[in-house]
């Protein structure tokens, strides 16, 4: 359901369906860099002409963002939800106050908010974003899910080591720093790797490296 390229009509005005973000409150509008609406009066404007919709009512950037976020959310949702359950069980399922209300874990609230945007969505993402309501929910889902994934990461991310330089002699006097690669699953090894391909997977040596870096 990919839309056609924008065209200028007889009056010179761009004619196309805009990305839905240009109609939503509280959402940054997707615009074309250095392209302006006819009524733009701001000299410092970096571009205010709306991005055209390409898939349903989403521009390509929003569509790709949705695809990635959907994939990441479906992988992480159950892990985050199970963390919620563990929190509840650890507190006997009760977070009571003398005022009579119950506090819900932040993970519960985050998961429920994300799921609220998915409720009633068709299985095919292209069908979901083909209507105004669907595209609106899709954009808000992407924003909300990204926020939840940042707040409750299910695995550590790669990070540069501040003090260790690659020992590979090919770099000469200016060796680059190396990356700490976290384990992908329980009991998997930690790896330290350079862009040149050099890596260290000896766990005793890595323990020494981490002790120096003090990143535990």
Q: Please check whether residues 116 and 185 belong to one and the same domain.
A: no
How, if at all, do strands 191-193 and 199-200 pair?
antiparallel
Q: How many CB atoms lie within 10 A of CB 18?
A: 19
Q: Please check whether residues 87 and 129 belong to one and the same domain.
A: yes
Task: Give CA separation, 120 vs 19, 49, 63, 103, in Å.
Answer: 22, 32, 19, 28
Which of 98, 123, 151 is where one domain is finished? 151
Please tell me whether the overall predicted TM-score, pTM, comes out greater than 0.95 for this model: no
Q: Please check whether residues 131 and 190 belong to one and the same domain.
A: no
Q: Please check whether residues 189 and 135 belong to one and the same domain.
A: no
Q: What percent of the chain has pLDDT over 70?
A: 77
Q: Please check whether residues 144 and 175 belong to one and the same domain.
A: no
Q: Under the phi-then-psi rule, with left for phi > 0, alpha for psi from -120 to 50, and beta for the rest, what region is 130? A: alpha
Query: Cα-Cα-Cα-Cα dihedral of 32, 33, 34, 36, to 10°?
Result: 30
Separation between Cα atoms, residue 58 and residue 134, nearest integer Å:
10
Q: Please check whether residues 109 and 181 belong to one and the same domain.
A: no
Q: Please check whether residues 145 and 129 belong to one and the same domain.
A: yes
Residue 11 lies in a domain: no
When pLDDT is cut at 50, 70 and 90, the band that residue 54 belongs to is very high
Q: Please check whether residues 139 and 66 belong to one and the same domain.
A: yes
User: 60-90 and 132-151 are packed helices; what angle lies between their axes, rounded to 10 degrees?
Assistant: 50
Instruction: Give 78-119 pLDDT, tens digit per residue.
Output: 777 776 554 444 444 444 444 444 455 777 888 899 999 999
Task: Give CA separation, 105 vs 91, 135, 153, in Å.
Answer: 11, 29, 16
Q: How many structural domains is the chain composed of? A: 2
Instruction: Give 144-173 pLDDT, tens digit per residue.
Output: 999 988 888 766 677 788 788 888 888 888
Domain of residue 98, residue span: 60-151
Q: What is the pLDDT of residue 110?
A: 86
Residue 24 lies in a domain: no
Q: Please check whether residues 173 and 108 belong to one and the same domain.
A: no
Q: Please check whether residues 189 and 107 belong to one and the same domain.
A: no
């Amino acid at each position: 359901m990919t839309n056609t390229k924008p065209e200028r009509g007889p009056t010179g005005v761009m004619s196309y369906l805009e990305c839905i973000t240009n109609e939503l409150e509280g959402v940054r509008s997707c615009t074309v860099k250095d392209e302006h609406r006819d009524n733009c009066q701001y000299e410092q404007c970096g571009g205010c002409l709306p991005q055209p919709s390409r898939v349903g009512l989403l521009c390509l950037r929003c569509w790709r963002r949705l695809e990635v976020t959907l994939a990441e959310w479906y992988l992480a949702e159950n892990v985050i939800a199970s963390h919620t359950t563990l929190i509840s069980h650890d507190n006997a399922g009760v977070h009571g106050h003398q005022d009579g209300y119950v506090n819900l874990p932040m993970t519960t609230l985050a998961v429920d908010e994300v799921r609220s945007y998915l409720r009633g969505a068709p299985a095919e993402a292209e069908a979901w974003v083909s209507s105004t309501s669907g595209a609106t929910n899709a954009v808000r889902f992407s924003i909300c899910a990204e926020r939840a994934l940042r707040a409750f990461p299910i695995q550590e991310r790669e990070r540069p080591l501040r003090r260790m330089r690659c020992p590979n002699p090919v770099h000469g006097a200016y060796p680059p720093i190396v990356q700490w690669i976290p384990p992908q699953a329980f009991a998997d090894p930690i790896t330290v790797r350079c862009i040149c391909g050099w890596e260290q997977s000896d766990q005793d040596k890595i323990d020494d490296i981490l002790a120096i870096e003090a990143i535990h």
